[in-house]
Structure 1
Amino acid sequence: MRVSFAGYMIALIGVALVALVTHMALAHLGLASAALLFLLPVLAASVRFGTGPALVAAASGALAFNFLLLPPRFTFRIDGFDHVVSVAVFLAVALVTSRLAAELRAREAEANARAAANAEQAEFAALLSGDTPDVLTRALAWITARYGAARLIDRDAMPSEDPALSSLDLSAAGWALQGAEAAGHGSDTMPASDWSFLPFAPGHPGGSGMLAVARPMSGTTRRPEEMTQLQALARLIGQARDRLALADERQSRERLEDRDALRRTLLAAMAHDFRTPLTVLTGEVAALDGDLAAKDCALAQVHRLSAMMDDLVGAARIEGGALDPQIEAVDLVDCIDAACARLASALAAHQVERALPADLPLVAADPVLLTHILVNLIGNAARHARTRIAISATTDKGRISLHIDDDGPGIADDLHQRIFDRFARGAGSDRDGGTGLGLAIVKGFADAMALGVAAHRAPEGGARFTLFLPERQVVTA
């Protein structure tokens, strides 16, 4: 109120000074110039104090112009139509001028406020630019110093009770989360609340949380422009939280990739370093004289270690992306014979039945990878079969289905899809007695050659593994 009164007084003093000057120098100035001088206090009052003092300056200036300058002078009576027009024009010009000056002043104030808000947002964004978790703590301290006590509320950790929040505050917080709009103190929703709740992503229900700011210590109600600024700060906090979450996820993924790379390197190194001594050991054991049973047992264990090393090499090639299948026409019977020969000691205790058509077509595959697949599938059957292993094949519309059955315990229904995962456990898996990688390598090699593989229960009990291979047509000249 004191400032407004001072503005009115200064406006009147300005009019009085102009009136004094024009009264003393009227003979030199003339009425037109004197009237223009009376616009000066109007402009000054509009720019400095606003519309009210400007209107007072305009009205008092019109009266002073009439009283001091227009004949008959020193009376408020206007003599002549032209003088009436002069007073009216002066008053109209003064009012329009004061209005324009007031609008310019308001726009300047609005521009300054917007610039200040943008500068504050830029300062806040710079504060949030770090990648360390404590940036959010610093951001809350920054808001607390300027607007009042601040805290973050996550959607997944919405409190049902909180000593700092009343039941009305909690209701406003729930409304802000559900409606994705500001609620509580300073807003149109539950303004009686002692806290302002501003979602991180206004207009997008289901956001991750919100910023809560307590009522100012002075007890005043937040202005709309202050709520707008707080909403902008809340949006910046939400963006910073998302960026930190992505950074954490990226770091976790990099750590997993580093561990996987180390594991692949270790597998490859082990397989390489073990292969040479195993080859030497196999030759030395085969050349031994003496107890044939002990010799056969030692050879079986060496072959088992060699198969494990083959699995490790296969796993390393799959995970390292080093597979480069050389697809050609392959005789499936020859690959089966080669696999059975490598598994001769393991198959010795079982009855191996073959039901392969005499006219079985050639298949399109990499012979080395296909033989490895068959070694793993037949070896898996040998580990779980009681007495019998059956190898059969059928053809249908250019596709060959190779079945390997055993009369073992079979495969649990819930493992049919997961049996080809690494280290899959359960009856019928290759976990017991193997590396736990055999069937995973079967799937990896099959995928590399665009072959299909599936696990089922065998028609007569036990497990059935089926390999699906495309025929390879051989064109003869």
Structure 2
Amino acid sequence: MWRVLTSYAVPLLGVALVTWITSTMLAQWGLASAALLFLLPVLLGAARGGLGPGLVAALAGAGAYNFFLLPPYFSFRVHGPENAVSVLVLVLVAFVTSRLATRLRAREEEANARAAISEELAQISRLLAKGAPVEALERARSYVAGIYGPVRIDGAQDGFSSLDQAAAAWAMHNGDATGHGTGVMAAAEWTFLPLSPKGRGAHALMALARPADGHTRPMVQIEHMQQVALLLGQGCDRIALEEERRARETLAESDRLRRTFLASLAHDFRTPLTVITGQLEALATRSPEAGEALNAARRLERTMSDLIAAARIEEGSLRPQAESLDLIDAADAAFGAVAVPAGLSLGHAIPADLPFVQADAVLLHHVLINLIDNALGHAASRVMLGAALSDGQVALWVEDDGPGVPLDQRARIFERFARIEGGDRAQGSGLGLAIVRGFAEAMGMQVSIEGSPLGGARFILRMAA
């Protein structure tokens, strides 16, 4: 009310001031100059208050100009058309100025509103970026709630009416703003806004309560709150990423401890196993039972070596030393390191003219032992090694005549601790073939599996000649 009264009072005071000045200075300035001064309060009134104050200032100015400055003085008689034109001009100035001022104020208010919205979104972004994700999201939620009323982003359904729950389900399913102030279920007490862009699938919602005064939120505010919801959704994403990061760190730490434990255990077992193996080798010359124990000790020693090798692969500390090797010598060395169970045969058909290959002798020895030991554990009667030269590469394979590996299980046969249920690879630790792949890749080789002409599985190692 005070602002309205001021918008009319100020231009009227301006008219009074101009009237006093022109009455005093009329002899020096002349009638034309005096008439122009009456435009000033008209412009002031129209610019500040709009059309109403401008017209009042125009009529008041015209009356004062006629009453105080035109003869006969102190009367409202109009002596000529030029005096009527002056009144019309003042009215037109008031009208045009008020329209321009109104448009300018509307643009200013629109710009201020956009600036306020941008500042609000920037403040929410700053709150979400500071500190721990959970606390940051709560600070941002409290900030929004302080402006727009109660806000919930926890996704809980308690406290909602059946209509609100239906609106929440609709918003979640369709990815649109639903509930109070929207075109869908507008009778709901809460407005539900997805926290993720439409098309990505809504996984959580922001719930905004109806204003305390009972008014309906305008659609422009709902659209703004959709932007706010997307920002809060980024805060939720940050929480999810932080939880995922912690889970990865926990898993990596557990994996590191596991590797350390396995490597330490393997090292601790190695020394007593060496002593036991040495004693059993001496006893095996006189006792068949000692020979069986010796084979078991050697198998346990190879398992310990496998554990150490697995730890070296995972730590990235494996550094192969490539040299030229004869595959026939490598196969004979591997044959001497494994025990062939009774009823099985082990042999090779490696061509004598096969070129030497580039490989690490120790790693290749481990690879062949693991492949042969794996084949012996599943063969029905025999295990064979073969090799051939193709396209500048040497392919070395180990095959058996067992049941083989099902096609749908071959992709994971080289994974650590893989156990093929229902097949002939269900026994063992599942570590040997993972080490085969790790050692082969460390030497730049490729290892694969396919069916064998013998009926079982064929493991193929491809290497550079």
- Alignment partner for residue 297 of structure 2, among 299, 302, 306? 302
CA displacement at 1:439 relative to structure 2? 0.7
Q: Runs ≥4 in structure 1, deviation > 6 angstroms?
A: none
CA distance in 1 between partners of 2:63 and 2:176 (Å): 54
- Alignment partner for residue 170 of structure 2, among 166, 174, 188? 174
What SS is found at the alignment partner of 1:128?
helix
CA contact (8 A) 1:181 1:199 kept: yes
CA contact (8 A) 1:55 1:98 kept: no
2:330 is the alignment partner of 1:338:
no
Cα shift readout 1:156-187 (whole Å, capped 9, x = no counterpart): x9x8x9843527x8458736863x55454445
Partner of 1:467: 460
Partner of 1:452: 446
CA distance in 2 between partners of 1:176 and 1:14 (Å): 61
What SS is found at the alignment partner of 2:412?
coil
Question: 246-255 or 87-96: which moved more?
Answer: 87-96
CA contact (8 A) 2:346 2:384 kept: yes
Partner of 1:377: 371
CA contact (8 A) 2:151 2:209 kept: yes
Aligned-pair identity in percent equals 45
Partner of 1:221: 216
CA displacement at 1:416 relative to structure 2? 2.0
CA distance in 2 between partners of 1:114 and 1:468 (Å): 67
CA distance in 1 between partners of 2:409 and 2:3 (Å): 85
CA displacement at 1:421 relative to structure 2? 1.2
CA distance in 1 between partners of 2:121 and 2:369 (Å): 67
CA contact (8 A) 2:15 2:57 kept: no
CA displacement at 1:316 relative to structure 2? 1.2
> Where in structure 2 are there 5+ consecutive unaligned residues?
none
2:73 is the alignment partner of 1:80:
no
CA distance in 2 between partners of 1:9 and 1:289 (Å): 120
CA displacement at 1:445 relative to structure 2? 1.6
What SS is found at the alignment partner of 1:385?
coil
CA displacement at 1:292 relative to structure 2? 1.4
Cα shift readout 1:107-146 (whole Å, capped 9, x = no counterpart): 4444444444344334433433332425444444443343
CA contact (8 A) 1:311 1:435 kept: no
CA contact (8 A) 1:430 1:438 kept: no
CA displacement at 1:153 relative to structure 2? 7.8
In the alignment, residue 150 of structure 2 is paired with which amino acid?
Answer: A
In the alignment, residue 466 of structure 1 is paired with which amino acid?
Answer: F
CA displacement at 1:75 relative to structure 2? 4.3
In the alignment, residue 174 of structure 1 is paired with which amino acid?
Answer: W
CA displacement at 1:313 relative to structure 2? 1.8
CA displacement at 1:376 relative to structure 2? 0.4
Cα shift readout 1:401-443 (whole Å, capped 9, x = no counterpart): 43323344433443222221111113556663x4421011111
Question: 253-262 or 357-366: which moved more?
Answer: 357-366
Distance 1:152 1:272, change over 3 A: same
Cα shift readout 1:327-348 (whole Å, capped 9, x = no counterpart): 33321111110001011x3456
Question: 124-133 or 201-210: which moved more?
Answer: 201-210
CA contact (8 A) 1:176 1:183 kept: no
Aligned 1:59-74 pairs, distance under 5 A: 59-74=59-74
CA distance in 1 between partners of 2:180 and 2:35 (Å): 51
What SS is found at the alignment partner of 1:238?
helix
Aligned 1:276-425 pairs, distance under 5 A: 276-288=271-283, 292-343=287-338, 345-347=339-341, 350-425=344-419
2:121 is the alignment partner of 1:121:
yes
Partner of 1:236: 231
Distance 1:61 1:323, change over 3 A: same
Partner of 1:150: 151
CA distance in 1 between partners of 2:293 and 2:99 (Å): 107
CA distance in 1 between partners of 2:406 and 2:96 (Å): 91
Distance 1:205 1:342, change over 3 A: closer
CA contact (8 A) 1:128 1:135 kept: yes
Distance 1:325 1:430, change over 3 A: farther
Cα shift readout 1:296-336 (whole Å, capped 9, x = no counterpart): 23322221121011111221121111223333332111111
CA contact (8 A) 1:275 1:306 kept: yes
Cα shift readout 1:61-96 (whole Å, capped 9, x = no counterpart): 334333443344444443235434443444444444
CA contact (8 A) 2:193 2:207 kept: yes
CA distance in 1 between partners of 2:6 and 2:178 (Å): 38
**How many residues of Structure 1 are paired with residues of Structure 2 in the alignment?**
462
What SS is found at the alignment partner of 1:417?
helix
In the alignment, residue 359 of structure 1 is paired with which amino acid?
Answer: D
> Where in structure 1 are there 5+ consecutive unaligned residues?
473-477
What SS is found at the alignment partner of 1:455?
strand
CA distance in 2 between partners of 1:115 and 1:163 (Å): 34
CA distance in 2 between partners of 1:164 and 1:222 (Å): 19
2:256 is the alignment partner of 1:261:
yes
Distance 1:421 1:320, change over 3 A: same
CA displacement at 1:26 relative to structure 2? 5.8
CA displacement at 1:369 relative to structure 2? 1.6
CA distance in 2 between partners of 1:172 and 1:52 (Å): 48
2:139 is the alignment partner of 1:164:
no
Question: 127-136 or 333-342: which moved more?
Answer: 127-136
TM-score scaled to structure 2, two decimals? 0.83
Partner of 1:475: none
Question: 10-19 or 215-224: which moved more?
Answer: 10-19
Distance 1:259 1:51, change over 3 A: farther
Aligned 1:31-50 pairs, distance under 5 A: 31=31, 34-35=34-35, 38-39=38-39, 41-46=41-46, 48-50=48-50
CA distance in 1 between partners of 2:184 and 2:24 (Å): 63
Cα shift readout 1:5-36 (whole Å, capped 9, x = no counterpart): 63565357536644763586364775456546
Q: CA RMSD in A?
A: 3.6
CA displacement at 1:288 relative to structure 2? 4.6
Distance 1:49 1:87, change over 3 A: closer
